[in-house]
Structure 1
Amino acid sequence: MNVLKPHLQTTILTLLGKGATQREIARITGVSRHTIRAYAQRFAAERPNCPGVATDSVGQTAPPWPPTPVATTVSACEPHRTFIEAQLRLQRNATAIYQDLVDQVAFAGAYNSVKRFAGRLRQKEPEQFDRLSFVPGEEMQVDYGEGAPTLVPGTERYRKPRLFVATLRYSRRSFRRVVWKSSQQTWAELHEQAWRHFGGSCRYVVLDNLKEGVLKPDLYEPKLNAVYTATLAHYGVVADPARVRDPNRKGTVEHAIGHTQATALKGRRFTSIEEQNAFLDHWERTWAATRIHGTERRQVQAMFEEERPLLQPLPVSGMQYFTEAQRTVCDDSCVRVEHCSYAARPAPIGSRVLVRLFARRIEIRDLATQALLRSHARAERPGTVVLPQAERVFNPSRETRRILAQAKAKAIGPDASRLCEMLFAIEGRVGQRKLWGIVSLGERYPKRLIDCACARAITDGLHSYRHVKAITERLVADALAALDAPQQAELALTQEHPLIRSADVYAELFARGAAQTPNPTTPRSFTHDHE
């Protein structure tokens, strides 16, 4: 309180005795209303029972105290109460209401009068909060806080690590861990450790909008980071991020963090992270789990024993953590990851893909849909190229095997394959062009004719593509000429010819044969027709 000079104190006391308001005294004396209010309370405490006239410290007559009540001043806005209340229900401010009063009813009062009157009329209803209740195994709430000062390794300095707390909403059983640094993987690993500690996972997890879990906070569709999303999917849990600036949604874990800091860690120091984590485990088992919860009026451990069987079973294997990076598909259809190349087809050359790096493998996914394109074992030596032979283009070191393969020279025929092998044996890698020429003939001419041409070239001793091509073209031309040659016309039938006997001769022959036909009952052994 400001210490005023005696004459100002006397003036304030006199005006208060006459029933002047603090606002009027402030306007007359220039003293702040807060100071006038403080002096009024001081005068009332010094003269609680002084009826009539009293004397001050210097023996002068002082006004009676407490002052005689005076009639309450009626605000100039009182006649317009109904109008002002209606405007306040429309969420209009005092300035707009004052302007309407002046325009519509020629209001003669001051703006401050309307402002004070509107302030008294406004009634702010307290916000109602629901009492959240959940079934066993339904929800877990997580959050970060600050741990106790801990000695930084290799130094003599103490620093507060990050305190991770996961609390089951039904039983209030908590899991606590301190870590020096946090990251997306550390955040997911702490969740996994909490579920392993509880012996099962819940169906929903409520978290804050920190970057380790939520990349983009949104009221309707928040975006989680990929590592956290994969971890939740691995354990069958759904994330339910709290709304921004809405800590009441996860009040259970907020209270658990405050309880840990105020009771377990207050005034303590630790020499290592491991020591603090061991103490937190001991404190949770000995004190936190055995306490009687203030709201439920039941022991936390007893409620946890009811909740434990209803938690979701844990998967056999733990989460395989990964890191993500975007890469561009190079002109050899590969992506570069840690100085190694991995095949990325069917991703087109020049496109951007998403690469997930696991401990022993990598995944190449579509950037937009997250669909899996390729998966490779992670190379151990820098400079390794993981690209199947079938996806590689021309390379002199590999083309010989490709040409001589079953799908090329051997597909034409055995003689073509033998000629190609002879050419490579004679000329080496330089003869690959001749081999390609012979193989490419199969795209234009019948393979049977090409194989015959190769056989004739081997016989002629001319191991040349030109020679094989010339023979093949000649064989094709001969085959086409044979197809174009005219066919022999059909002979006309005739009844007269030197070799054709007359009909009477044939009739007599048939008659004799009929007359000499043996009896069917007579054995064939006794006939002499064969003689």
Structure 2
Amino acid sequence: MAAERLSMRTIKEVLRLKWEKKFSNKQIEQSCKIARSTIREYLVRAERAGLNWPEVSDLDDGRLEALLFSPSVHAECSEKRNLPDMEYLRKELTRKGVTLRLLWLEYRQVNPDGYQYSQFCYHYHQWCNKLDVCLRQTHRAGEKLFLDYAGQTIPVTDPLTGKTIDAYLFIATLGASNYTFAWASFSQDLPSWIDANVRALNFFGGVPEILVPDNLKTGVTKACYYEPDINPTYYKMACHYNTVIIPARIVKPKDKAKVESAVLIAERWILAALRNHAFFSISELNNAIAEKLEDLNNRTFQKMNGTRRSLYETLDRPALKPLPASPYVYAECKKVRVNIDYHVTIDGHYYSVPYQLVKEQVEAWLTATTVEILFKNRRVASHARSTEKYQHTTLTEHMPKAHQKYLEWTPSRIMDWAGKNGPNTRQIVTCIMERHRHPQQGFRSCLGIMRLAKRYSSERLEAACGRALLLKAYSYKSIESILKTNLDAQELPESSPEKKITHYNIRGQEYYRQEESAHA
């Protein structure tokens, strides 16, 4: 392989010393610290290009390089050797079992005078290096918060059973200051993810403009390069804090290089530092993490002045948006369908929704104390959460009008309504409901009797009820028959005095009085 080419600045200095200062090659060698053979080569190249000193001083590096190192010879050589198709090589290498050496052997079969294996690999790697150009990102203060879990876990021992449970380390870091937060939990499920995010925002004391998580299943329901689907609960949390979520692209760790670096640092300065410690509870572990985290954020940078905390106080902290008045309360989202009785079933309990939504699919947001039901992102019902299985929580306004009117009728209300018509009407209604095992079974008869007042009159209904009481005819049909036959207009029969019955088998009350006195 050819020797590494000197910089254009050094070559210019060689030409200046030779042509302007009239130095010998030995003096130039001592001044520039380069071999005389190299000096001679560049002087020959300059003479072939027809250059002189005043002209060289006005040329930029690119123009000088083009004149000194003409690509004509290299191009002719490359054309003669037939440089391989680099894009073809890259695609072939993605196939299982294909190696660069295999591709080189195939290349040499077609091009016997082509490149040797080392040059073949060199040109391919040079081409690859130009593909993945890294963009150095400049993070604005308070703009992005990067979130991820560390790959390494921490064992926590159960003091009762002696079994160890792995805890996962959540990492969050701000883009501008690298100020870092860490928290351990036993799971990476949705409640743990939301709890860690809320704790991170409280730790930073403000809200960034953008949250940049990895494509973790709990945060991103469906990973997509262009339009990832955010978990509804995570999205609602972001709305509560007035921020947005922009996940990192799939298999693009450079999108979240900040948190990848923070994870690496946390594994070195937190997890590695705690490797010889035994933890018997998650709270004990998080207390130890908090101490190490304090040291990490207060440690001076190696290549710049200040610490993560000092940069946070001067850059990120003033730029963060304020936290809301109350922290986000975890709410789980469930999609449920409204049953024909206008109720939805959640954990075995039935909650009502407006009857117009029968057979529609709705979203139920569940907290520890409430059940909130949304239809097309609009709240349609809210209930206190109940743990009683197979019971109903029903609001009257969710019921159809007919159902509402039915529920309005109670025994006391029907009796009061009948009492407004008269005492006989009230008494007959009371007798009807008392004759049934359940008062509701007599509602229909009572309502029918009350409606007779519209067909006849209140006075006639009161008189008919009086006759029905005398006859002990406690039914709607009896009273209707009395009204139809105008029996209510007739005078009620007076109750006749009791006739004393005399018979030789009847001793009478005088006999028992004598018996009582004799025994006395």
TM-score scaled by structure 1?
Answer: 0.59
Superposition map of 1:271-290 within 5 A: 271-272=278-279, 273-290=282-299
Is the CA contact (8 Å cut-off) linking 2:270 and 2:293 kept in structure 1?
Answer: no
2:145 corresponds, among 116, 140, 143, to: 140
Partner of 1:436: 447
**Cα drift, residue 79 of structure 1:** 10
Post-superposition Cα deviations, 1:56-99, rounded to whole Å, max 9, x if no partner, equal xxxxxxxxxxxxxxxxxxxxx989949978x959x67899xxxx
**Cα drift, residue 464 of structure 1:** 5.8
- 2:419 & 2:198 partners in 1: Cα distance? 63
Partner of 2:132: 127
- 2:411 & 2:111 partners in 1: Cα distance? 98
2:350 aligned partner, one-letter code: S
Partner of 2:343: 334
Tell me, what secondary structure is at the counterpart of 1:353?
A: strand
Is the CA contact (8 Å cut-off) linking 1:293 and 1:299 kept in structure 2?
Answer: no
Deviates more, 1:308-317 or 1:455-464: 455-464
1:300 and 2:308 aligned? yes
Is the CA contact (8 Å cut-off) linking 1:147 and 1:162 kept in structure 2?
Answer: yes
Partner of 1:253: 259
Partner of 2:269: 263
Superposition map of 1:107-506 within 5 A: 112-113=110-111, 123-124=127-128, 125-147=130-152, 149-154=154-159, 155-156=161-162, 160-266=166-272, 268-272=275-279, 273-292=282-301, 294=303, 297-306=305-314, 307-346=316-355, 348-366=357-375, 369-388=376-395, 391=399, 401=410, 404=413, 410=417, 414-415=420-421, 421-428=426-433, 429=439, 431-439=442-450, 447=454, 450-451=457-458, 453-458=460-465, 461=468, 465-466=476-477
Give the paired residue count. 374
Tell me, what secondary structure is at the counterpart of 2:426?
A: helix
1:240 aligned partner, one-letter code: I
Closer/same/farther in 2, CA of residues 79 and 437 from structure 1, 3 Å limit: same
**Cα drift, residue 200 of structure 1:** 1.3
- 1:318 & 1:201 partners in 2: Cα distance? 12
1:301 aligned partner, one-letter code: R
2:312 aligned partner, one-letter code: F
Closer/same/farther in 2, CA of residues 388 and 205 from structure 1, 3 Å limit: closer
- 2:79 & 2:372 partners in 1: Cα distance? 72
Partner of 2:14: none
Closer/same/farther in 2, CA of residues 358 and 421 from structure 1, 3 Å limit: farther
Is the CA contact (8 Å cut-off) linking 1:403 and 1:436 kept in structure 2?
Answer: no
**Cα drift, residue 141 of structure 1:** 0.4
Deviates more, 1:276-285 or 1:162-171: 276-285
2:362 aligned partner, one-letter code: V
Unmatched segments (≥5 aa) in structure 2 = 1-74, 92-106, 434-438, 487-520
- 1:130 & 1:217 partners in 2: Cα distance? 23
Tell me, what secondary structure is at the counterpart of 1:171?
A: coil
Unmatched segments (≥5 aa) in structure 1 = 1-76, 96-108, 476-531
- 2:380 & 2:163 partners in 1: Cα distance? 49
Closer/same/farther in 2, CA of residues 314 and 473 from structure 1, 3 Å limit: farther
Is the CA contact (8 Å cut-off) linking 1:148 and 1:269 kept in structure 2?
Answer: no
Is the CA contact (8 Å cut-off) linking 2:241 and 2:324 kept in structure 1?
Answer: yes
Closer/same/farther in 2, CA of residues 221 and 149 from structure 1, 3 Å limit: closer
- 2:153 & 2:339 partners in 1: Cα distance? 51
- 1:81 & 1:139 partners in 2: Cα distance? 49
The alignment-based identity, stated in percent, is 22
Q: Which is helix-richer, 1 or 2?
A: 2
**Cα drift, residue 257 of structure 1:** 0.7
**Cα drift, residue 466 of structure 1:** 4.9
**Cα drift, residue 126 of structure 1:** 3.8
Post-superposition Cα deviations, 1:242-262, rounded to whole Å, max 9, x if no partner, equal 110111011011001111212
- 1:115 & 1:388 partners in 2: Cα distance? 88
Closer/same/farther in 2, CA of residues 450 and 350 from structure 1, 3 Å limit: farther
**Cα drift, residue 328 of structure 1:** 4.0
Is the CA contact (8 Å cut-off) linking 1:185 and 1:227 kept in structure 2?
Answer: no
Bigger radius of gyration among the two: 1
Closer/same/farther in 2, CA of residues 454 and 389 from structure 1, 3 Å limit: farther
Superposition map of 1:12-27 within 5 A: none
Post-superposition Cα deviations, 1:223-253, rounded to whole Å, max 9, x if no partner, equal 1112212221211221110110111011011
1:386 aligned partner, one-letter code: T
Is the CA contact (8 Å cut-off) linking 1:339 and 1:382 kept in structure 2?
Answer: yes
Closer/same/farther in 2, CA of residues 347 and 217 from structure 1, 3 Å limit: farther
Tell me, what secondary structure is at the counterpart of 2:410?
A: helix
1:375 aligned partner, one-letter code: S
1:269 aligned partner, one-letter code: N
Is the CA contact (8 Å cut-off) linking 1:146 and 1:160 kept in structure 2?
Answer: no
Is the CA contact (8 Å cut-off) linking 2:179 and 2:309 kept in structure 1?
Answer: yes
- 1:186 & 1:152 partners in 2: Cα distance? 20
Is the CA contact (8 Å cut-off) linking 1:340 and 1:382 kept in structure 2?
Answer: yes
Post-superposition Cα deviations, 1:368-400, rounded to whole Å, max 9, x if no partner, equal x233221111225445421245738779x9685
Tell me, what secondary structure is at the counterpart of 1:269?
A: coil
- 1:405 & 1:94 partners in 2: Cα distance? 88
Closer/same/farther in 2, CA of residues 79 and 358 from structure 1, 3 Å limit: closer
2:188 aligned partner, one-letter code: S
Is the CA contact (8 Å cut-off) linking 1:457 and 1:463 kept in structure 2?
Answer: no
Is the CA contact (8 Å cut-off) linking 1:161 and 1:181 kept in structure 2?
Answer: yes
- 1:194 & 1:305 partners in 2: Cα distance? 16
Post-superposition Cα deviations, 1:115-140, rounded to whole Å, max 9, x if no partner, equal 95796987442422222112211111
Deviates more, 1:453-462 or 1:136-145: 453-462
Closer/same/farther in 2, CA of residues 148 and 362 from structure 1, 3 Å limit: closer
- 1:403 & 1:329 partners in 2: Cα distance? 34
TM-score scaled by structure 2?
Answer: 0.60
Is the CA contact (8 Å cut-off) linking 1:403 and 1:435 kept in structure 2?
Answer: no
- 1:336 & 1:420 partners in 2: Cα distance? 44
Partner of 2:23: none
**Cα drift, residue 345 of structure 1:** 2.4
Is the CA contact (8 Å cut-off) linking 2:270 and 2:289 kept in structure 1?
Answer: yes
